[in-house]
A and B are shown apart, each in its own frame.
Chain A
Amino acid sequence: MTLTKADLVQKIYQTHNLTKAQATSIVETFLKISKDCLANGEDLLISGFGKFNIKDKNARRGRNPQTGKELILTARKVVTFKPSGILRDRVNGMQQ
């Protein structure tokens, strides 16, 4: 089963004294602040989870894999994620 936004809302609704509407609003705010931070080109560091970095990519020659035509890929910014040691350990079955 894939975890979705609705599952996160449900979880904090169950564990905190909040209405469903408040829980939904908080999850949206959590995501909005995270996205705004990255959209501004700022890295997001969440200790115990991982860090999201913004990387600048230079323009380069590429190819359309379907047609084989060459094209120029323009310079762009991308988001990369590096999991923290805690998250890596948990994913590999090590308990904290």
Chain B
Amino acid sequence: MNKSELIEAIAQQENLPHREASSITNTILETMIDTLATGESIEIRGFGSFVIKEYEAYQGRNPKTGDKIEVPPKRLPFFKVGKELKERVNKGS
């Protein structure tokens, strides 16, 4: 399922005009992105949680050429699946 299919499904179930469902979905996603951008985490019971992991700079190598390169420090979002979703996915229902 992609984002437009998700929006369409929300519009149908909630009896909303497509444009409204789209705008609300974007607000939800932007709120989540803004939260992660400030380094804060997200916790949604039954679905899962997102945390930001910080990585130090390290010396890596270009796997193609073998050249040494300096990898700068970075932050990455991590998702941990919630208990309910984990069990449902595994059962396939």
Per-residue interface assignment for chain A, residues 66 to 89, with 1 indicating a CB less than 8 Å from any chain B CB and 0 otherwise: 000000000011111101001110
**Distance, CA A16 to CA B27, complexed state (A):** 9
B29 at the interface (CB under 8 A from A): yes
A-B contact count (CB 8 A): 141
Does B45 contact A87, Cβ atoms closer than 8 Å? no
Chain A residues, Cβ within 8 Å of B1: 33, 37, 42-45
Does B31 contact A3, Cβ atoms closer than 8 Å? yes
Does B43 contact A2, Cβ atoms closer than 8 Å? yes
A29-B14, A31-B44, A45-B1 given as contacts; is B29 within 8 A of A90 (CB)?
no
Chain B residues, Cβ within 8 Å of A37: 1, 6
A44-B1, A48-B29, A77-B92 given as contacts; is B85 within 8 A of A2 (CB)?
no
Q: How far is the CB of B12 from chain A (nearest CB, A)?
A: 10
Which of A3, A25, A41, A88 is close to B32, meaning CB atoms less than 8 Å apart?
A: A3
B1-35 interface with A by 8 A CB criterion: 1-3, 6, 9-10, 13-14, 16, 20-21, 23-25, 27-29, 31-33, 35
**Distance, CA A4 to CA B28, complexed state (A):** 11
Per-residue interface assignment for chain B, residues 33 to 72, with 1 indicating a CB less than 8 Å from any chain A CB and 0 otherwise: 1011101111111111010100000000000000000000
